[in-house]
Amino acid sequence: MGADDVLLEIEDLRTHFLLDDGVVCAVDGVDLRVRKGETLAIVGESGCGKSVMARSILRLVDPPGQIEGGTITLHRDGGPVELVGAGQKLLREIRWNDIAMVFQEPMASLSLVHTIGSQIVEAVRLHENVGKAAARKRAIDMLDRVGIPMPQRRVDSYPFELSGGMRQRAMIAMALACRPSLLIADEPTTALDVTTQAQILELLRDLQDDFGMAIMLITHDLGVAAQVADSMAVMYLGRVVEYGTAEQVLSAPRHPYAQALLRSMPRLGQARQRRLTAIRGMVPPPYARPGGCFFHPRCDHVMAGRCDTVAPSLIPVDDREVSCLLYEEDK
């Protein structure tokens, strides 16, 4: 795929939290691309910066968090726009319209005191010049499209009147009402039971085909990633350590952390044949990142005198990108 296919390009993104006790480098030099229409899965242990990275894209990081540097470029039909440093007017235009986000817990993003319908109507009317009646019709159509029964009635329901699965569907309806070119889904199915989870994933896949949007799917579930992702990025301590097609990364990971992560996570259909192994050592505390490669204290392939001093960068390895000095030695 050529550069023309790139929808979102993140370069050296750094988002830090400036706390009294020190600086938490939640996102610490992320490089990533999302191509038009693809599903990119982001995986990594808890606390590695997946959510902060996602929120940084929409500039939803609240103080004491702030973007310290890097670029986030969105390639729109009208030309590229830079999101780091963008003003509120541009951001309002981009949220929902170009990039929408769904979270793990829909109650966190749906208002409790407004009906589902009025929230979708408001989102649509904020971005498009349509009348109330047309926006309400769009809301009903979207609720129907995401599989909510009796959408003409449900449109006037409050979020608490819906089940967890239905709320997540309503959230997706709201996110897609303005036809974004990118949907960021942060653990969208984690709070749901397995059957509902499968239904929501199926729904996202159908909608993606119909709407032609790209999806950035944050998940800790490799089974989910294997099911839906075209590409995959593995994050460790605020950085991407391996990035390639989902097939490449899942079947033959190259970065020692990606290899260890895959061995430590259950996967659909493999649970019985495989013994899961925990990754050696602990995630270092956020204030005390090791020098050199962040993973070196836990790495089985550590090279003394190199990995603890030289910070690796993402380089092409076997048709993907890997940040590990093991591969730089080959160059």
HSE-CB of 216 using CA atoms within 13 angstroms: 29
The entry of Mg ion, ligand ATP, none near residue 223 (CB within 5 to 8 angstroms by kind) is none
Q: From the CB of 23, what's the least distance to ligand ATP, in Å?
A: 10
Site for Mg ion in 33-52 (CB under 5 A): 50-51
The span from the CA of 181 to the CA of 59, in Å, is 17
Q: From the CB of 59, what's the least distance to Mg ion, in Å?
A: 17
The entry of ligand ATP, Mg ion, none near residue 307 (CB within 5 to 8 angstroms by kind) is none
Task: Give Cα 33 to chain centroid, integer Å.
Answer: 12
Q: Residue count at the site for ligand ATP (CB under 6 A)?
A: 14
Let me know how long the chain is: 331
Residue 220 interacting with ligand ATP (CB under 6 A): yes
The span from the CA of 15 to the CA of 278, in Å, is 28
DSSP-assigned states of every residue in 26-94:
EEEEEEEEEETT-EEEEE--TTSSHHHHHHHHTT-PPTTEEEEEEEEEEEETTEEEE-TT--HHHHHHH
The entry of ligand ATP, Mg ion, none near residue 52 (CB within 5 to 8 angstroms by kind) is ligand ATP
Q: Which of 40, 52, 261, 293 binds ligand ATP (CB under 6 A)?
A: 52
Given the complex with Mg ion, which of 48 and 110 has the nearer CB atom? Answer: 48
Q: From the CB of 43, what's the least distance to Mg ion, in Å?
A: 11
Q: From the CB of 50, what's the least distance to ligand ATP, in Å?
A: 3
The entry of ligand ATP, Mg ion, none near residue 59 (CB within 5 to 8 angstroms by kind) is none
Residue 35 interacting with ligand ATP (CB under 6 A): no
Residue 15 interacting with Mg ion (CB under 5 A): no
Q: How far apart are the first and last CA of the chain?
A: 24
Q: Which of 37, 47, 284, 290 binds ligand ATP (CB under 6 A)?
A: 47
Q: Which of 65, 117, 165, 256 binds ligand ATP (CB under 6 A)?
A: 65
Q: Are 61 and 52 in contact (CB under 8 A)?
A: yes
The entry of Mg ion, ligand ATP, none near residue 253 (CB within 5 to 8 angstroms by kind) is none
Q: Which long-range contacts (CB under 8 A, 24 or more apart) does 105-111 make?
A: 105/191, 106/159, 106/164, 106/167, 106/168, 106/170, 106/171, 107/159, 107/167, 109/171, 110/159, 110/167, 110/170, 110/171, 110/174, 111/159
The span from the CA of 124 to the CA of 135, in Å, is 6
* Residue 113 burial (CB count, 10 A): 7
Given the complex with Mg ion, which of 40 and 293 has the nearer CB atom? Answer: 40
Q: Which of 34, 48, 101, 261 binds ligand ATP (CB under 6 A)?
A: 48
Q: Is 147 helix (H, G, I), strand (E, B) or coil?
A: coil
The entry of ligand ATP, Mg ion, none near residue 47 (CB within 5 to 8 angstroms by kind) is ligand ATP
Q: Is 122 helix (H, G, I), strand (E, B) or coil?
A: helix
- For residue 95, what is the DSSP state? B
Copy the structure tokens of residue 308.
């603890």
Q: Which of 11, 17, 107, 205 binds ligand ATP (CB under 6 A)?
A: 17
Q: From the CB of 78, what's the least distance to Mg ion, in Å?
A: 32
Site for ligand ATP in 240-299 (CB under 6 A): 286
Q: From the CB of 19, what's the least distance to ligand ATP, in Å?
A: 6
Question: Which residues are near Mg ion by CB under 5 A?
Answer: 50-51
Question: Which residues are near ligand ATP by CB under 6 A?
Answer: 17, 24, 26, 44, 46-52, 65, 220, 286
